[in-house]
Amino acid sequence: MSLLVAASPKDCSKQGLRFPKLNKKLLYTLSSLLISLLSLIFLLWLTLHPSKPEFYLKDTAVYQLALAPAPRLLNSTIQTTIVSRNPNSRVGIYYDRLRTYAAYKGQQITADAVLPPFYQGHQDVNVLSTALSGTAMPVAPSFGYEVGRDQTAGKMYLDLRLDGQLRWKVGSWVSGSYRVDVDCVAVIVLRPGADSGPMSLVQGAQCSTTV
């Protein structure tokens, strides 16, 4: 009887040990699978890691910058060409909800110009040409004084801004949306008394891009 009693707990413990062993093996297999999957993703990310798109200001022409004195309302007409380049050889870029506008001393001076969404292939270059205009835009009291001072100096700094969203495309996979902000500073050389053509024109300027 004592033998029987001794045998039964032994059996129980043997059976009880078998399950954790199986679980451990399963756990080990699963975790090593997960680790190799994670390292594969990391390797893919390392090799494909997209560089942010490059932008530069090709030209900017100011045709009109007229300020009404009493309620300070500004009319402006600015033509700008921004060139965009995708530096990635394996990653494409979808641009959505792009808008561009001009700002002077942190103040928006034209209405938003909405650009159509587009796809930029591997190492593609796209030219974004927009006519920006503002009609009776309210400006800060200092605006007239600042522009007057710049006119005396013969040049003014104008910000051409572009923002929107982008999605990366790798093979047939498309990422989620990321915000993109582009800021280009144009140094406008003023030509007072110019009868025809733009009041001022500037060529070439690098833009800062944040994604």
Ligand X SMILES: *[C@@H]1O[C@H](CO)[C@@H](O)[C@H](O)[C@H]1NC(C)=O
Q: How far is the CB of 68 from ligand X (least distance, A)?
A: 4
Q: How far is the CB of 99 from ligand X (least distance, A)?
A: 22
Q: How far is the CB of 75 from ligand X (least distance, A)?
A: 4
* Residues whose CB is less than 8 angstroms from the CB of residue 115 and which lie 6 or more positions away in sequence, other chains included: 95, 98, 99, 100, 128, 130, 162, 164
Q: How far is the CB of 200 from ligand X (least distance, A)?
A: 17
Q: How far is the CB of 77 from ligand X (least distance, A)?
A: 10
Nearer to ligand X, 123 or 151 (CB): 151
For residues 175 and 148, what is the distance between their CA atoms, to the nearest angstrom? 47
How many angstroms separate the Cα of 136 from the Cα of each of 67, 124, 148, 156, 168? 8, 38, 19, 21, 39
Pick from 157, 163, 160, 158: nearest CA to 210: 163
Pick from 208, 200, 190, 167: nearest CA to 78: 200
For residues 201 and 61, what is the distance between their CA atoms, to the nearest angstrom? 4
DSSP 24: H
Nearer to ligand X, 75 or 79 (CB): 75
- With beta carbons less than 8 A apart as the criterion, state whether 132 and 77 touch: yes
SS3 category, 112:
coil
Nearer to ligand X, 65 or 205 (CB): 65
Provide the binding-site residues for ligand X, judged by CB under 6 A. Answer: 66-68, 75, 135-136
Angle at 130 between CA 92 and CA 159, to 5 degrees: 90
Q: How far is the CB of 118 from ligand X (least distance, A)?
A: 32
Rg (CA), the chain: 31
